[in-house]
C-alpha cells in the first residue's frame, strides 16, 4: 500500500495503525485509522497491538513479550489517543509493565494492559500440543469481508468450522502480507470469528472485554516466519449468562506453536 502523501514511501496499514509519537515520561500518542476500523471504533486486535507497541518503544524494555493481557474497559473513539506506560518491576529474567489508554476530552480510560517480558535463553524443551490438521490454504475459500468493518479486509481468513469437535481451524494472513512481529501476532489473536455466530446465527451484539496472549516464540523466531500465513485453531468452551470465552493456538506453517490466546466476550442474547 502506498502512502498517498508521499507516493515513493510504502507503509503497511498495520505499521500506520500502530505508529506512536513519543511524548516523554513513558507516554505515547497515536490515533485510530480507517484501515482497522470496526463497526464502532477500532478492531480490538489493533488496540491490543498498539498497547504492546507502546511497551516495545520503552528504552528500558528487556527481552521479548511473554504474556500480554488487554482489558477493554470502554469504547475507543475514532481519533487520537494517549498511552501511558509504567515499569512495574524488573528482575534478572522477567520485566513487568502496565499501560493505559486515555482519550480527550474526558480522559476516561478505554483500555488497560499488563505485560510480562522475558529473556528467551536456550533451555530444555518439549512440545506437548500438536498442530491442527488443515487442508492446503489454496483449497479453501477466504471468509467474506464486511464493508461495515474495514478491519476484516486486513486479514485473509480461511476457516473450517468443525461442528462435531466444536473447533474452528483457520489459515490467517495479514493483507497485504507483512513480516510477523509481536504486535501483528497479538492483533491476529483477535481475528477469529466468534463461535457464538456459528452456533447461533442471529445478529447478536458482542464485545471483547479481555484478551490474553502468551507468546511462545522469541523475536528471531517470529522474524524467520516472515509473512507466511499462520494456522489457528480456536475453540469456545462455554456461552452463558452474558459472556463466552474463546481460546486459540497459533501455529507457524512448519509446525511451531508460537502463541496461545484466550478472551472473554460480552454478548446480549
Using the contact rule CB under 8 A, the part of the chain among 5-13, 76-84, 144-152, 210-218 near its own copies is: 210-218
Residue 20 vs residues 31, 181, 267: alpha-carbon distances, Å:
8, 16, 32
The rounded Cα 214 to chain-centroid distance in angstroms is 11
Q: Any contact of residue 93 with its own copies (CB under 8 A)?
A: yes
Which residue is it, cell 489473536? 189
- Looking only at residues 36 through 65 of this chain, which bind its own copies when binding is defined by CB under 8 A? none
Least distance (Å) between residue 227 CB and its own copies: 23
User: What is the rounded CA–CA span in Å between residue 198 and residue 201?
Assistant: 6
Q: Any contact of residue 73 with its own copies (CB under 8 A)?
A: yes
x/- contact string, 224-253, with its own copies (CB under 8 A)? Answer: -----------xxxxxxxxx-x-x-x----
Least distance (Å) between residue 19 CB and its own copies: 25
User: What is the rounded CA–CA span in Å between residue 236 and residue 59?
Assistant: 38
Least distance (Å) between residue 132 CB and its own copies: 13
Q: Which of 22, 60, 176, 200 binds its own copies (CB under 8 A)?
A: 200
Dihedral, 220, 227, 117, 124 alpha carbons, nearest 10: -50
Which of 46, 218 has the CB closer to its own copies?
218
Q: Which residues, other chains included, contact 68 with Cβ-Cβ below 8 Å and sequence gap of 6+?
A: 48, 51, 52, 113, 114, 115, 116, 186, 212, 213, 215
Q: Any contact of residue 91 with its own copies (CB under 8 A)?
A: yes
Using alpha carbons, select from 134, 177, 160 the residue that is nearest to residue 235: 160
Q: Any contact of residue 269 with its own copies (CB under 8 A)?
A: yes
**What is the β-pairing status of strands 167-174 and 243-251?**
unpaired
Which of 176, 255 has the CB closer to its own copies?
255
Q: Would you say the C-alpha torsion 218, 224, 230, 231 has a positive or negative sign?
A: negative
Q: Any contact of residue 161 with its own copies (CB under 8 A)?
A: no
Q: Which of 78, 216, 224, 228 binds its own copies (CB under 8 A)?
A: 216
The number of residues that bind its own copies (CB under 8 A) is: 63
Q: Which residues, other chains included, contact 83 with Cβ-Cβ below 8 Å and sequence gap of 6+?
A: 20, 27, 28, 29, 30, 50, 51, 54, 99, 100, 101
- Please tell me whether residue 64 adopts helix, strand or coil conformation: strand
Least distance (Å) between residue 170 CB and its own copies: 17
The site for its own copies (CB under 8 A) is made up of 66-67, 69, 71, 73-74, 88-89, 91, 93-94, 96, 98, 100, 108-110, 112, 114, 116, 118-129, 166, 195-196, 199-200, 209-210, 212, 214, 216, 218, 235-243, 245, 247, 249, 257, 260, 262, 264, 266-269
Amino acid at each position: 500500500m502506498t502512502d498517498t502523501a508521499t507516493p515513493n514511501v510504502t507503509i503497511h496499514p498495520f505499521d500506520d495503525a500502530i505508529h506512536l509519537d513519543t511524548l516523554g515520561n513513558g507516554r505515547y500518542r497515536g490515533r485510530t485509522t480507517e484501515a482497522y476500523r470496526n463497526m464502532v471504533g477500532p478492531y480490538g486486535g489493533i488496540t491490543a497491538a498498539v498497547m504492546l507497541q507502546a511497551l516495545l518503544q520503552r528504552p528500558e524494555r528487556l527481552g521479548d513479550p511473554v504474556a500480554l493481557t488487554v482489558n477493554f474497559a470502554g469504547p475507543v473513539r475514532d481519533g487520537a489517543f494517549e498511552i501511558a506506560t509504567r515499569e512495574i518491576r524488573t528482575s534478572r529474567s522477567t520485566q513487568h509493565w502496565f499501560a493505559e489508554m486515555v482519550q480527550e476530552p474526558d480522559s476516561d480510560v478505554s483500555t488497560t494492559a499488563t505485560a510480562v517480558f522475558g529473556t528467551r535463553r536456550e533451555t530444555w524443551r518439549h512440545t506437548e500440543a500438536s498442530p491442527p490438521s488443515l487442508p492446503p490454504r489454496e483449497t479453501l475459500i477466504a471468509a467474506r469481508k464486511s464493508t461495515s468493518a474495514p478491519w476484516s479486509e486486513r486479514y485473509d481468513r480461511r476457516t473450517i468450522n468443525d461442528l462435531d469437535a466444536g473447533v474452528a481451524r483457520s489459515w490467517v494472513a495479514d493483507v497485504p502480507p507483512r513480516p510477523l512481529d509481536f504486535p501483528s501476532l497479538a492483533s491476529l489473536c483477535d481475528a477469529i470469528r466468534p463461535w457464538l455466530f456459528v452456533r447461533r446465527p442471529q445478529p447478536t451484539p458482542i464485545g471483547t472485554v479481555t484478551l490474553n496472549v502468551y507468546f511462545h516464540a522469541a523475536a528471531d523466531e517470529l522474524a524467520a516466519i516472515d509473512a507466511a500465513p499462520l494456522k489457528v485453531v480456536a475453540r469456545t468452551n462455554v456461552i452463558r449468562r452474558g459472556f463466552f470465552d474463546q481460546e486459540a493456538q497459533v501455529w507457524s506453517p512448519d509446525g511451531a506453536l508460537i502463541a496461545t490466546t484466550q478472551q472473554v466476550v460480552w454478548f446480549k442474547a
